[in-house]
Structure 1
Amino acid sequence: MQCGSDRVNERIFEIVGSVKNYKWGKRGNNSLVRQLTVNSLFLDSTSDDHYAELWFGTHPSGPSQVIPFSKKEHPELNSLAAHLYKDADAAIGNTNHVKLANSIHLPFLFKVLSIRTALSIQTHPDAKLAKKLHQQYPEIYKDSKHKPELVIALTNTLVMCGFRPLNEIAEFLRQTPELTMVIDKNIVNEFLYVCDTSPASSHTKPLKRLFSALLCADKYTLSCAHRKLLERMPSFQPNDSALKKVLQALLEDFFEDAGLLCAFLFNVIELSPGEALFLKPNTIHAYISGDCIECMAASDNVIRAGLTQKYKDIDMVINTVNYKAERPKILRGENLQDSFLFSPFERIYAPPVSEFQVGLLRLDQESHIYVLPALPAISIVLVYRGSGILTRFPGHSPGYSYPLKTGRSYIIYKDTSVEIHVKEEIVLYRACPSMLSSLPA
């Protein structure tokens, strides 16, 4: 393996992510984000601050930086967007990236989240709505892009996602007096009647009225309902244990927020490590607790409705959310070893979008060498656990070695095969533009 600073032809570069210290993040050593930054150069991980998110990509709000090969010769980090602009032909491939003056922006944003308290109840607009919102309210909706996203659990992760099946909502309305305290009796009765007598296609308007009444309930009534719910929590035994966990968390942190009772309307899911959800645009959701990978189209567009002190556009959520009431599909990744693009040790999470996909690789044979086939697009690799050495696959020249340690991350240019020499079991995630966007959701 060659070393040195003359790496003009190199196609692998170490990068550092951007840490976000949002107050909902876990603190200090309790945060997986902090744990992952311990082995990353140039990141200050010594404080007991909140470590909420770690971003990888070229998004202007948190761009990654490229570590120079020789820190003595090049003490300043280089923006990944500017780095790719200088080497676009070799690096990018045929992706839907955005080329601006002196920079190139990738179509996806790759994150790690470490969640202490709930994130807001929110939706992300589809492409048509995003364009409209950006034109009308550019100070709130910063770009004109849609924002589908994928969440993959690293630890047990509580998520609210989409509306429950209607029969479950109806049962909660019958058995949960706190709900009927804050929602007009006529709206409740209309919903129950339609659920009992009409086909599913007739349920959208009654569900919309129910949801609207809950989000618009006054704070005093909500506080009374939440107080009664808090009093009976010790004896509250729902069939779904995840629901009780969510209610306990929200009663502690969001006592006067209408989003608390939304847990009775939304699917509540506890993802186990490796399980994932694809959140289509206009899908209502909120992350409650846990640690996870998140990959999304590179957009800032969020429409909030609850569980936040930030600006809430409740009317927009009510009028644009997808009211389809069903259980979401749990994804566990697919092994596509018959494809020349992927390693047989890789599980692929490939939603039906062009901007991104994520691969999960578990390499558990110590002293073994694994080969990652070349992709026709740039990729970002994050080492979640383990140690080893990353090199370009033999036959490429020149070849250099890179340390793989927990928290280290790299960009790998298009058409570049790599070898991984395992010292200690390695788990890594690889994000790139979609190679399989035709797969079903």
Structure 2
Amino acid sequence: MHLLRGAVRTYAWGSRTAIAEFTGRPSPTAHPEAELWFGAHPGDPAMLKTDDGERSLIDALRDDPEGQLGAAVCARFGETLPFLVKVLAADEPLSLQAHPSAEQAAEGFERENKLQIPVSAPNRNYRDPSHKPELIVALDQFEALAGFRPVPRTIELMRALAVTDLDPFVHLLSGQPDAGGLRAVFTTWITAPQPDLDVLVPAVIDGAINYMRSGKSEFANEAKTVLELGERYPGDAGVLASLLLNRITLEPGEGIYLPAGNLHAYINGVGVEVMANSDNVLRGGLTPKHVDVPELLRVLDFTPAADVVVRSEVVEDGIESLYPTPAPEFAVSVLRIDGDRIGHEIDAPTRHDGPQILLCTEGSTVVHAKGGTVTLQKGSAAWVSADDGPIRLAATEPTTLFRSTVGI
């Protein structure tokens, strides 16, 4: 078991304060910090803090895959860690995007290899052959767009904006209130010529302005989102797409699970994100980066979803709360030490004999394992190899740990 030094990723949409303050560093930082990676992704592996200095987690896995990952994990996923843990801090909206299924990713990766598109090329869609299911759990209030809203509610929103230019799409959805109608509207918008978007997007923005001035509140969040996206990305079809998606406000501890084909965009907030160890993203707008419309349409799932919020379920004597997701690559839970458990050593529930990444988001605790002892404080993380488990915890104050393991 070793402490981990995460890799900070700087993107324009990140925060100059959130990740720095989370990890106890001075803020504001010189550049926006968007993500803090704790994992073994080749793009930015975390570093193990050992007695002999720092060492890449990737190197540790390569030198002793069964000891670090366990025989069962190696048999399922090979000699690589199948999940990646991030702290994400968004001060501005991320791109509108979706991720492929495992089959789509494998086919797309092979296809682009045959076309000899370099993996690092900006027009590359598939940088690896894996899918990328992910779970985001809010650490503070977190705003997002995720999944297509049920059609009747979308019709109500469009009518509330009172934009004449939206009438044809209201009629279309009224006649086909299902995934087919959503596909038809979204396809029309994302493939529209720019002159058409330069008319429709400003009209929708004006409708949002008028709605906010009216003092109505039912669709206030949706109208505000239109205004925010329209200001940053004028004339972008993604502004229109926001009308079709669930507008979600997560409270701390609530999450969103994003399976293949789920169109989404994070708007603002800080959260813990755990995903399959992949970098496959298909963008649909709200970005200057590569947008491949035909490929995006091929992978999108237009099935409406009314409730996409995931809440943890208490297991094991109330110490651990598990976020239920179907992803085989990862399982995410929260270990909370409070009340009469403070000041005592507590056995953490044993989920299986694979590796763990522990991330402290509140308080401080000593972690005991076969391979040694570390102290975790807010913003720090530890790698617990398969050989090191199980673990015991001893906290002197209320403490919260996010625990990421391989899915069962």
> What is the TM-score when the length of structure 1 is the normalising length?
0.82
Secondary structure in 1 matching 2:2: strand
Distance 2:396 2:225 in 1: 40
Counterpart selection for 2:234 from 255, 258, 280: 255
Larger Rg: 1
1:381 corresponds in structure 2 to 358
Q: Does 1:172 find its partner at 2:172?
A: no
Are 2:199 and 1:221 equivalent residues in the alignment?
A: yes
Q: Map of 1:35-434 to 2, 5 A cutoff?
A: 35-38=21-24, 47-69=29-51, 74-75=52-53, 77-93=54-70, 94-95=72-73, 99=78, 104-138=79-113, 139=119, 140=124, 141-178=126-163, 180-181=164-165, 186=168, 188-195=170-177, 203-217=178-192, 218=194, 219-229=197-207, 231-232=209-210, 233-235=212-214, 237-337=216-316, 344-365=318-339, 366-374=342-350, 375-392=352-369, 396=370, 400-414=372-386, 416-434=389-407
- Once the two structures are TM-superposed, the CA of residue 230 in structure 1 deviates from its matched residue by 5.5
Higher mean alpha-carbon deviation, 107-116 vs 382-391, is at: 382-391
- Aligned-residue CA RMSD in angstroms? 2.3
Relative to structure 1, the CA distance from residue 362 to residue 242 in structure 2 (aligned partners, 3 Å threshold; closer, same or farther) is farther
Distance in 1 between the 2:184 and 2:300 partners? 13
Contact conserved, 2:363 with 2:397, CA < 8 A, in 1? yes
Q: Give how far 1:34 is off.
A: 1.6
User: Does the aligned pair in 2 maintain the 1:383–1:405 contact within 8 Å?
Assistant: yes
Give the aligned residue type for 1:224.
P
Determine the C-alpha separation between the residues in 2 that align with 1:147 and 1:38: 30
Structure 2 contact 236–286 (Cα < 8 Å) conserved: yes
Contact kept in structure 2, 1:226 and 1:256, CA below 8 Å:
no
Deviation at 1:309, TM superposition (A): 0.8
Give a deviation string over 1:322-343, Cα, whole Å, max 9, x none. 1111213322111221xxxxx6
Is the CA contact 1:187–1:206 (under 8 Å) kept in the aligned structure 2? no
Give the match for residue 9 of structure 2.
Answer: 20
Aligned partner letter, 1:429: F
Percent identity over paired residues: 30
d(CA) in 2 for partners of 1:244, 1:175: 10
Residue 5 of structure 1 corresponds to none
Q: 1:186 and 1:329 mapped to 2: Cα distance?
A: 28
Contact 1:388 1:422 in 2 (8 A): yes
1:357-380 residue CA offsets vs partner (Å, 9 max, x unmatched) = 111112124323222144310010
- One-letter code aligned to 2:320: E
Report SS of the residue matched to 1:299.
coil
Deviates more, 1:271-280 or 1:368-377: 368-377
The answer to whether the 8 Å contact 1:226/1:255 transfers is: no
Amino acid at match of 1:384: T
| 8 Å Cα contact 1:158-1:242 kept in structure 2 | no
Q: Distance in 2 between matches of 1:191 and 1:107?
A: 40
Provide TM-score, normalisation by structure 2.
0.88
Offset at residue 422 of structure 1 (A)? 0.9
CA–CA distance in structure 1, aligned partners of residues 257 and 141 of structure 2:
17
Cα pair distance change 1:194/1:417, threshold 3 Å: closer
Q: 3-state SS of the aligned residue for 2:73?
A: coil
Counterpart of 2:367, as a letter, is L
Query: Secondary structure of the equivalent of 1:95?
Result: helix
* In 2, Cα distance between equivalents of 1:89 and 1:318: 40
Determine if contact 1:187/1:209 at 8 Å carries over to the other structure: no
